[in-house]
Every structure is written in C-alpha cells, then in structure tokens.
Amino acid sequence: MTQAEFVVVANRLPVDRIADADPDDEEGWRRSPGGLVTALEPVMRKAEGAWVGWAGQADLELEPFDFEGTHLVPVNLSADDVENYYEGFSNDTIWPLYHDVIAAPRFRRQWWEAYVKVNQRFADAAADVAAVNAIVWVQDYQLQLVPRMLREARPDLTIGYFHHIPFPAYGLYSQLPWRRQVLEGLLGADVIGFQRVADAGNFARAVRRQLRYETKASGISVPDGRGGTRTALAKAFPISIDADSYIELAQRPDIQARALEIRESLGNPKKILLGVDRLDYTKGIRHRLKAFGELLEDGRVSVDDVTLVQVASPSRERVEAYIQLRDEIELTVGRINGDYDTMGHTAIRYLHQAYPREEMVALYLAADVMLVTALRDGMNLVAKEYVASRVDNRGVLVLSEFAGAADELGSAILVNPHDIDGLKDSVMRAINMPAGEQGRRMRALRRRVREHDVEDWSREFLDALAAFHDRTSAVTA
C-alpha cells in the first residue's frame, strides 16, 4: 500500500470526470482548473504526495489510483451523505453561518451526525495513506473535525488546516449548537490558516470564550491530553492565484482577438461591465443588478453605451437557498432586459454557465469595469484574476470591502455593496475614470498580485508547518 510523506485532504479530488468516461478508467479524468490544484501540483509531484477527496458524484465506488504524479484516494459518499454532510451541514449550516447569516443557517442534528461520520471517513483514509511522521494538510470548512480525528489516530503526524472561507464574529459563531466540537476539531491542527487577520482574530476569541484556552499573539495553548499543553498557531495566510498563467494567457494573440470578438458580439458598447461569480447569495449579485437597473432607470447610463455581462456559474443546485436565489436573479435580469433592451443592444448578458480559463481571460480583457460586490467572501480570486489578466494596465476593479481581497487590493475602488447609492456612484466613477488613473491603480494592484501568488501562499503555510514537523521528528527520532 502507498505511504505518502505529504497528504492533502480536501472535500474534492483535484480531478474532474470526463463526461461519459468509465470511472474506473484512469484516462477518464482531467485535472481540475482550480488555483489550489495548480498551486499544489509541484509540491505533490516532488513529495510523491497523496490527495484524499471526493470525486463529486454520489455512490461512486472508486479504488485509489495514480494521476499525473499524485496518488488519489477517493472517499466515497452515498446519496444520503451528499444530502446530509455536503448539501446539509456543509452548505446549509456552516456556509451561511460563516458568511454572516446572509441566508439563515439551518441547525439539524441529523446533518451534524452525518458531518461527524463523513469527517471520520476522510480522517481514516488520510491516516491509512500517511507515512510515519508525514505532513497532512486539511482544506476547508467541510472537514473541520478532521485535524483532531487525525491527531487522535496518528499523534506522529504534523497537521495543517487552511480555512478558505470567513470565520465569523463570536456573536454569530456562538449560535452553532456544536460550537465546542468544531473548535476542538480545528485545534487538532498544528497550524490553522485563515484568509484575513480578522478571521484569525475571530477564531482566537471563540477559543477563549468557549474553551477558555490561553491565546498569545498567534499562539494558542491546547491541552495535549497528557496533562501538559502544546502550542497551535492560528494566523492569516491570504491565498492567491497562479498569476503567471493568467499573464501568459492574456498575452496570447488568439485570446486578445477573442476579447475584441466579445465586444463586437455585444454591439461594441462604449463600456462593458463584468460580474463573474458562482451563483451564490454571498456574492452580492442582486445588489449589483439593483444598482445597474437604477442607473438605467435614472438615465445615468444607456444600453447603447453600457452593457453588463454577468457570468453566474451553476453551484449547489439542490440547496433551497440557491434554488430561490436563481429564481430571483433570473426574474430581475428578465425585467431589466425587458424594460431597456433594444434590437441591437442588451442591458445584461446573463450566462448561467461555467467557462474554461481561456474564455475567462478574454472576458477580463474585454471588460472595462470588473464588479466584485460580495456581501462576504473569504478572499475572492476573481478580483485577483482580473487584475493579473490586465497586462495592458487598463480596466477598473470595483471591490467590496467585505471580500478578503480588499485587505490587499486597496487601490481598487472599494465599496459597501449594501449602500446602493454609494455603489451606483462607484460604478459611475469606474465608467468615467480617466486612462491615467486607471493605469496608476492597475499597476499597483498588479504588483501586489504578482508579488504574492499562490506559490508564495503554499510555501509560507508549509514553512510554518515545517517548524512543527522538525520539532515532532526530533522527539520521535
């Protein structure tokens, strides 16, 4: 049996099934396009690492297999597990609670039980594949109990956890009926990484209030089960993107030509506004549409001159809050277009689809203004992708101060998306921004994204974790 020195544990495997392929056929998979997968690929290859995760489909009984230098260990979920652990507890309890209850979280005991059971399954799979003294890196809110479960089974391991979404203020977090168990689960890790300094602060406060553990700077004293304590590190490691790959794509003549073609197909408006999101209530799509609809109504913009392209990729389509949101968005888009479209121009080009990276970069190049109006977002990588793609140093980023990216991208036009009048004024400011100011801001934004890309992110996290590894191996050696 394979034993790996480095193991990633995530809800999803880093591969997608090629449509209609036989799941047992190793050729039937392709690497997922996500940033995390790209970032970890070189690390995985060098360490001959293993990746424990779900293949994204219910009732698929898969055996471990190797894919492009990584050992993949599928965790199989039944239809009930998908309903209770993934759609239920992960995406109808934790997701809304951690995003400041924009939608109401539902606290169902049956979902919690499934979450515990499935987390244990991921922990068991990781414990089986990890070599003695291995490093294990657990990812995100679906697996908050795994660090502690792993530590109990395998005290020799060095365990990291990265939280990709916000960690809420204590007043909200304390609603969770299982608030102590979740904190204890996370504290099984040696290093607990967050997107923003504020997230790490919220976590430390919850630990002090609920568990009465001492915290000092980024260190938390955690009982070690033998009467002593060990120190866990909880701090911010803001995630980023693979900036070079966006720059390369943006320089390709065929992609630049495609950007012009997109402008053409929209009737060559003077300005194109763009929104790109998973169709999720955290993203502030409704607020964005409201502001744009009012600008048309007020006559401050006209469909002859300005078009909004909204890409809303399908997501979690069986969860009630997402079904409702889709209805509301599509009703609003239909109304606005019905009121303002002409034969030659549309107000909103709405696309409920996902696109390959090449097409996204063409869209970024075609867009004069990028609207990221999330009500709450761990980081928001779309903001960073837009900036990296603007090799021409043009374009304006309008960015919500409630997205983690706002901590780094201060040269964007920062907005409070709840303030519709403020949002409207910011959109107008972006539309009318002179080229010189666009250039100054875009250069500052691009510098930040290039200087801190996703490779820096994983290196910084893994370096922090390595300090714990050296300590543990010295004891067991």
Please state the closest distance from residue 14 (CB atom) to ligand G6P, in A: 11
Contact letters (x/-) for ligand G6P, 302-321, by CB under 6 A? -------------xx-----
Nearer to ligand G6P, 76 or 315 (CB): 315
Q: Is residue 81 part of the contact set for ligand G6P (CB under 6 A)?
A: no
CA distance 401 to 410: 9
**Single residue of 4, 6, 8, 12 touching ligand G6P by CB under 6 A:** 12
Q: Which residue is closest to ligand G6P by CB? A: 164
Nearer to ligand G6P, 325 or 365 (CB): 325
- # residues contacting ligand G6P (CB under 6 A): 6
Please state the closest distance from residue 18 (CB atom) to ligand G6P, in A: 18
Nearer to ligand G6P, 10 or 387 (CB): 10
Please state the closest distance from residue 28 (CB atom) to ligand G6P, in A: 20
**Single residue of 164, 424, 452, 469 touching ligand G6P by CB under 6 A:** 164
Please state the closest distance from residue 12 (CB atom) to ligand G6P, in A: 5
Nearer to ligand G6P, 165 or 409 (CB): 165
Please state the closest distance from residue 473 (CB atom) to ligand G6P, in A: 30
Residues 147 and 185: beta-carbon distance below 8 Å:
yes
Euclidean distance between the first and the last CA atom of the chain, given in angstroms as a whole number: 24
Please state the closest distance from residue 168 (CB atom) to ligand G6P, in A: 14
Nearer to ligand G6P, 164 or 287 (CB): 164
Nearer to ligand G6P, 13 or 123 (CB): 13
Q: Is residue 385 part of the contact set for ligand G6P (CB under 6 A)?
A: no
Please state the closest distance from residue 254 (CB atom) to ligand G6P, in A: 29
CA distance 161 to 148: 11
Distances (CA, A) of 346 to 289, 332, 407: 14, 14, 35
Q: Is residue 140 part of the contact set for ligand G6P (CB under 6 A)?
A: yes
Nearer to ligand G6P, 140 or 385 (CB): 140
Distances (CA, A) of 423 to 21, 349, 387, 427, 441: 46, 20, 20, 6, 19
Nearer to ligand G6P, 140 or 453 (CB): 140
Please state the closest distance from residue 42 (CB atom) to ligand G6P, in A: 21
Nearer to ligand G6P, 142 or 310 (CB): 142
Token pair listed for 55: 């293949």
Q: Is residue 148 part of the contact set for ligand G6P (CB under 6 A)?
A: no
Please state the closest distance from residue 164 (CB atom) to ligand G6P, in A: 4
Please state the closest distance from residue 315 (CB atom) to ligand G6P, in A: 6
Q: Is residue 165 part of the contact set for ligand G6P (CB under 6 A)?
A: yes
Please state the closest distance from residue 239 (CB atom) to ligand G6P, in A: 10
Nearer to ligand G6P, 145 or 296 (CB): 145
Contact letters (x/-) for ligand G6P, 24-53, by CB under 6 A? ------------------------------
Classify each residue of 402-423 as buried b or exposed e, where b means 16 or more C-beta atoms within 10 Å of its C-beta. Answer: bbbbbebbebbbbbebeeeeeb
Nearer to ligand G6P, 37 or 365 (CB): 37
**Could you list the residues that contact ligand G6P (CB under 6 A)?**
12, 140, 164-165, 315-316
